[in-house]
Structure 1
Amino acid sequence: MTEKKEALVKKIRDENYEAILKNLKGRAALKQAVYKEVCQVYKELLSSLEMISGKLKDDIAEVKDVEIELREINQFESMLKFGSDVLIVSMHSNVFYVNPAHFIHKTGYVKEDNSKAYCGVIHIHNFLADSIKYNRTNDTGYLVARIFINKERHFFVEGRGQFSFLYEDFSESVLDKLVIDNIVELAINHSIEFDLVAPDFEHIKAISLMDKQLQYANSGYQTDKQLGYKFSAQAGVK
């Protein structure tokens, strides 16, 4: 290798190393800051679940056979059972950059500092309690809401019903105990109010023996809770 080429290679390596340092000090440190904040929010959300589940147990103590149970599934996921429904609250372990086409990028809050568009995500899914009890692995759960949180605890919620308009002001909305409690209660009530819808007879009148045998193996018919909406990923539009 000629001296000229060696000098060029050294220059490129030095520039790359400086870029690595810059990214580690900037982007990597930012993601860690967001992650720590989301971990704290998740802990507060679990405290809210514990408080609300305890209150529900006391207030419906006279109602037989309506079980309230909260349990931790793993470090990033917990489950609240209430009657025939279950909420699974899960925190994603990664930090995401919100899609540049998303409305938050039009706000002055994000325009003045693009790092505010890096968020952690907490999902709230609704399943039927029997799906879990009988291990009906083909049953479908539905995303009730997902919460995006940045390094400053600013947040927005994607969902339907009241979730579609209550928490969309990313610039001004900051997570606190009152908001977290309200999100949990909205998700519980939202799940209770949407009942099972029986499929049309014409759609289920014929069945193969293999399908029926698979139903035996999976503890019965596949059962999905129709919540009356589709998220953008399902419907193709928001």
Structure 2
Amino acid sequence: MSLEQDPIKHIARLIETKSAVKQQTFRNLCQNFKTLEKEAKKVVSKINAELTSKDKDVTLAVTRINDREFHVKVAGDLLVFLMHTNIIILDSAHGYNKSPFVEENAMRKYLGQINIYNFMADSFKYNRLNDPGYLIARLFCNYENHFLVEGERQLSFMYEKVSEKPISNTDLNIIAQLVMSQSIDNDLVTAPFPDIRVISLHQKIEKTQALGGGYKIGFQMSYQQKID
């Protein structure tokens, strides 16, 4: 705001533009999160139908926690889907903010965010509070409902650039499939022997990963990968 501007008019213009854009972005985010949960249920249902040898202890299920969180149990893994309630912008150095798409319309930089974490199912079952969860992907959408995804493997190149069209149910279904597949593909690695040779009584009582909970391998977000 310049010194010549009327503060009241300046605030009014901001409300008409930035605040309105953020509200529309949030509405899109809420709808996309609901649709993502529905599509995840469809994927789980199809996978269950394809299982020929069903072990009663190997389960696939979707559990709704609240309007901002749902879980997908995929055998020994638990995917936690979290909707961020605040509209954010990416770091100024991020490629999205430097894209012609945002340069054409600065309001497109405001994004809603859904984070998807991969936990071990036993971490929740046995309340192992110190077990880690890994951010396997994060989905962003703007007020026009265009989207991009940061993640690993296929997610890192399929959706790393902003979409040309608004997000669809098909897009969300594919994203759900990919994160489930990646959670299973990344195996659990136990801690090195010297690291767990000595534990405290507190660690024993709390059932921390010092008892061999292990950690996931292969997790690297696309923005962390080296660009030549």
Cα–Cα, structure 1 residues 236 and 56, in superposed 2: closer, same or farther, change >3 Å?
closer
CA RMSD of aligned residues (A): 2.5
For the residue of structure 2 that corresponds to 1:93, the secondary structure is coil
Q: Does 1:205 align with 2:205?
A: no
Q: Does 1:47 align with 2:33?
A: no
Q: Distance in 2 between matches of 1:49 and 1:177?
A: 11
Among 57, 63, 70, the residue aligned to 2:54: 63
Q: Distance in 1 between matches of 2:222 and 2:46?
A: 35
Aligned length: 224
Cα–Cα, structure 1 residues 213 and 62, in superposed 2: closer, same or farther, change >3 Å?
closer
Q: Distance in 2 between matches of 1:153 and 1:222?
A: 43
Partner residue of 1:4? none
Q: Distance in 2 between matches of 1:57 and 1:18?
A: 58
Could you tell me which amino acid in structure 2 is paired with residue 58 of structure 1?
A
Q: For structure 1, which segment, 200-209 or 81-90, has the greater mean C-alpha deviation from structure 2 after superposition?
A: 200-209
Q: Does 1:72 align with 2:99?
A: no
Q: Which runs of 5+ in 1 are unaligned?
A: 1-11
Q: Does 1:229 align with 2:228?
A: no
Q: Distance in 1 between matches of 2:8 and 2:214?
A: 52
Cα–Cα, structure 1 residues 140 and 21, in superposed 2: closer, same or farther, change >3 Å?
same
Cα–Cα, structure 1 residues 62 and 205, in superposed 2: closer, same or farther, change >3 Å?
same
Structure whose CA Rg is larger? 1
Q: Distance in 2 between matches of 1:209 and 1:52?
A: 43
Among 121, 124, 127, the residue aligned to 1:129: 121
Q: Does 1:103 align with 2:88?
A: no
Q: 1:224 deviation in Å?
A: 4.2
Q: 1:227 deviation in Å?
A: 2.6
Higher helix fraction: Structure 1 or Structure 2? Answer: 1
CA deviations on 1:187-221 (whole Å, 9 max, x unpaired) are 00000011111211111112233433333xx6983
Cα–Cα, structure 1 residues 42 and 97, in superposed 2: closer, same or farther, change >3 Å?
same
CA deviations on 1:110-158 (whole Å, 9 max, x unpaired) are 1110001111001111111111111111110100000111111211111
Q: Which runs of 5+ in 2 are unaligned?
A: none
Q: Distance in 1 between matches of 2:174 and 2:218?
A: 22
For the residue of structure 2 that corresponds to 1:96, the secondary structure is coil
Q: 2:128·2:206 contact (CA, 8 Å) conserved in 1?
A: no
Q: 1:139·1:222 contact (CA, 8 Å) conserved in 2?
A: no
TM-score by length of 1: 0.85
Q: Distance in 2 between matches of 1:214 and 1:45?
A: 34
